[in-house]
A and B are shown apart, each in its own frame.
Chain A
Amino acid sequence: MPSLSRETYLNIFLSLALLVFPFIATAMDEPFYITLATRVAILSLAAVGLNLALGTGGLVSFGHAAFFGIGGYAMGILASHAQTYTPIFTWPFVIEGTNQMLIIWLVAIVMSGIAALFIGLLSLRTSGVYFIMITLAFAQMIYYFMISWPTYGGEDGLSIYVRNQFPGVNTLDPSSFFYICLVLMFAGLGLSAMIKNSRFGAALQAARQNEERLAATGIRPFNIKLTAFVISGMITGLAGALMADLNRFVSPTMLSWHMSGEIMVLVILGGVGRLYGPVVGALIFIIFEFIFGGMTEFWQFYLGLVLLGVVLFARGGAIGLLAGKARHD
Chain B
Amino acid sequence: MSTTLLFEQLLNGLQYGVTLFLMAAGLTLVFGVMGLINLAHGSLYMIGAFACAAVAAATGSFWLGLVASIVAAGFAGVLIEMLVIRRLYDRDHLDQVLATFALILILSEGCRMVFGSFPLYLDAPGFLAGPVTLFGGFQYSAYRLAIILVGGLVALGLYLLITKTRLGIRIRAGEADREMIAALGVNIGTLYTIVFAIGAALAGFAGAMMGAIQSVQVGMGEPVLILAFVVIVIGGIGSIKGALIGSILVGVVDTLGRVTLPGFFNLFMDTAAANSVGAALSSMSIYVLMAIILIFKPEGLVSNNA
Contacts and interface: CB of A to CB of B under 8 A. Distances in A.
| A and B found bound together | yes
A133 B233 contact: yes
Given A137-B229, A147-B283, A129 B31 contact: yes
A312 B237 CA distance: 25
Nearest to A315: B95
Interface string A265-303: 100100010000000000000000000000000101101
Contacts of A137: 226, 229-230, 233, 287, 290
B109 A298 contact: yes
Contacts, number: 114
A130 B109 contact: no
B134 interface: no
Contact of A60 (B97, B104, B112, B283): B97
Interface string B34-49: 0001000000000000
B105 A303 contact: yes
Given A265-B101, A301-B113, A148 B233 contact: no
Contacts of A149: 276, 279-280
Interface stretch (B3-11, B59-67, B137-145, B291-299): B291-299
A17 interface: no
B87 interface: yes
Given A122-B295, A137-B229, A145-B280, A300 B98 contact: no
B284 A141 contact: yes
A305 interface: yes
Size category of the A interface is 35 or more
Interface residues of B, number: 41
A62 B94 CA distance: 10
Nearest to A144: B283
Nearest to B222: A257
B303 to A, nearest CB: 12
A134 B106 contact: no
A132 interface: yes
A144 B106 CA distance: 25
A210 interface: no
A311 interface: yes
A307 B39 CA distance: 14
A144 B284 contact: yes
A151 B276 CA distance: 8
A327 interface: no
Contacts of A141: 283-284, 287-288
A261 B294 contact: no
Contacts of B131: none
A7 B113 CA distance: 40
A308 B280 contact: no
A305 B99 CA distance: 9
B283 A307 contact: no
Contact of B103 (A54, A129, A268, A304): A304
B110 interface: yes
Contact of A257 (B99, B226, B290): B226
Nearest to B277: A149
Contacts of A130: 233, 237, 298
Nearest to B232: A133
A136 B102 contact: no
B84 A312 contact: yes
A305 B108 CA distance: 12
A134 B299 CA distance: 12
Given A60-B93, A134-B233, A134-B290, A264 B98 contact: yes
Interface string A135-160: 01110110011011111000000000
Contacts of A305: 102, 106
Contact of B95 (A126, A147, A311): A311
B201 to A, nearest CB: 23
Contact of B94 (A60, A145, A261): A60
Contacts of A133: 37, 229-230, 232-233
Given A148-B280, A149-B276, A298-B112, 4 more contacts: A122-B294, A134-B294, A144-B283, A148-B279
22 contacts: A60-B97, A122-B294, A129-B31, A130-B298, A132-B93, A133-B233, A136-B229, A137-B290, A138-B291, A140-B287, A145-B283, A148-B280, A151-B276, A257-B222, A272-B94, A300-B105, A305-B102, A305-B106, A307-B99, A312-B84, A312-B87, A315-B95
The 8 closest A-B pairs by CB, nearest first: A304-B105, A301-B109, A141-B287, A304-B106, A144-B283, A307-B102, A308-B102, A149-B280
Interface of B: 31, 37, 84, 87, 93-95, 97-99, 101-106, 108-110, 112-113, 222, 226, 229-230, 232-233, 237, 276, 279-280, 282-284, 287-288, 290-291, 294-295, 298
